Amino acid sequence: MINRSLVLFVFLILGACSSTMKLDGSKQPTLADYKDGEKWVWKYKGVTSEGVVRAEGNDTKEIVSRNGKLAMVTVAGTIPLVDVVKPVENKTPRYNWPLEVGKMWKFEEAWTSEDGTTGMTSQDAEILSFKEETVDAGTFMAFTIRYKGKITNSRGYSADTEEVHLYAPALKTFIKLTQSQSDYLYIEELVEYSKH
């Protein structure tokens, strides 16, 4: 009787821990989730159906402490971390917190490219799964989020597009992104993650 009760108790505790970890991991990251010295490195490549490489390289983000406050250093500059973790108030966000398998929403974003071209992305998003995923940087529990819709720009371009993000809560970011539109395939994959 004691053994059966003990086994039941252990299963209940493990189940509660598992549920809590999944629930916590599905929430938007907060300032307390980041540490000085954290670093993410992705490799990316974009290729047309004719084999023309339109984009290729590495992208890095790193957390640094400046005057006692954390900031995220990116290729575009240094952003105070308090700005990165602001609660999402957009009604059509990239990530609709909390993340849960089966959740669906509309993602819309207006953007401007480096050459001044403006555009709009409008996609239906759905979280398909939460399971182990392996990329160059390792194996992580990740949500698979699929986005399907259209991309248009001020130059008259319009294309159907599909993206798949693998978002790893433990790393507070996506570990792989695959985007296809008309004759173009873009893949970005995490190749390094480190904590100092």
Whether residue 158 lies inside any domain: the answer is: yes
Residue-range definition of the domain harbouring residue 174: 42-55+89-194
- Dump pLDDT digits (tens) for 19-42: 333 445 689 999 999 999 999 999
Domain count along the chain: 1
- DSSP class of 28: P
Give the pair of three-digit tokens for residue 137: 């940087």
Whether residue 4 lies inside any domain: the answer is: no
Whether residue 24 lies inside any domain: the answer is: no
CATH number, domain with residue 175: 2.40.360.20
Overall average pLDDT of the 131-143 stretch: 97
Q: What is the percent of the chain where pLDDT is above 90? A: 78
Helix (H, G, I), strand (E, B) or coil at 152: strand
Q: Is the pLDDT of residue 121 over 50?
A: yes
Whether residue 123 lies inside any domain: the answer is: yes
Q: Is the pLDDT of residue 178 over 60?
A: yes
Largest CA distance in the chain: 74
Q: Which of 108, 82, 97 is nearest to 169 (CA)?
A: 97
Whether residue 172 lies inside any domain: the answer is: yes
Whether residue 66 lies inside any domain: the answer is: no
Whether residue 80 lies inside any domain: the answer is: no
Whether residue 33 lies inside any domain: the answer is: no
pLDDT band at 12 (very low <50, low <70, confident <90, very high): very low
**pLDDT value of residue 113:** 84
Note every long-range contact of 126-131, with CB atoms under 8 Å and residues 24 or more positions apart, other chains counting: 126/102, 127/99, 127/100, 127/101, 127/102, 127/103, 128/101, 129/101, 130/22, 130/99, 130/101
**pLDDT value of residue 114:** 77
One-letter amino acid at 55 equals: A
Average pLDDT, the chain: 88
- Dump pLDDT digits (tens) for 46-98: 999 999 999 999 999 999 998 889 999 998 899 999 999 998 888 999 999 99
